């Protein structure tokens, strides 16, 4: 069965999707959080609070 990862960032006040990325299910997400946040900031010049799982700290 083919698996995939869905990286999604949305607004906290209106639950509006702001960023979406689909990746291979075998991709290791712990090494990508910094890259994803940097890509998001390139597209959206806003102050933001990011909430992530424990893989962000590895």
Q: Give the pLDDT confidence of 25-53 residue by residue, as tens digits.
A: 888 877 788 888 888 888 888 877 777 77
Cα–Cα distance between 5 and 21 in angstroms, integer? 8
User: What is the per-residue pLDDT for 4?
Assistant: 92
Please determine, for residue 23, whether its predicted confidence score (pLDDT) is greater than 80: yes
Q: How many CB atoms lie within 10 A of CB 5?
A: 14
Q: What is the pTM of this model?
A: 0.62
**Which pLDDT band, with edges at 50, 70 and 90, does 14 fall under?**
low
44 or 57, higher pLDDT: 44
pLDDT of res. 22: 92
């Amino acid at each position: 069965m083919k698996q995939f990862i869905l990286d999604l960032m949305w607004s906290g006040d209106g639950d509006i999707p702001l960023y979406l990325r689909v990746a291979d299910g075998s991709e290791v997400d712990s090494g990508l959080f910094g890259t994803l946040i940097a890509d998001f900031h390139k597209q959206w010049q806003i102050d933001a609070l990011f909430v992530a799982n424990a893989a962000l700290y590895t």
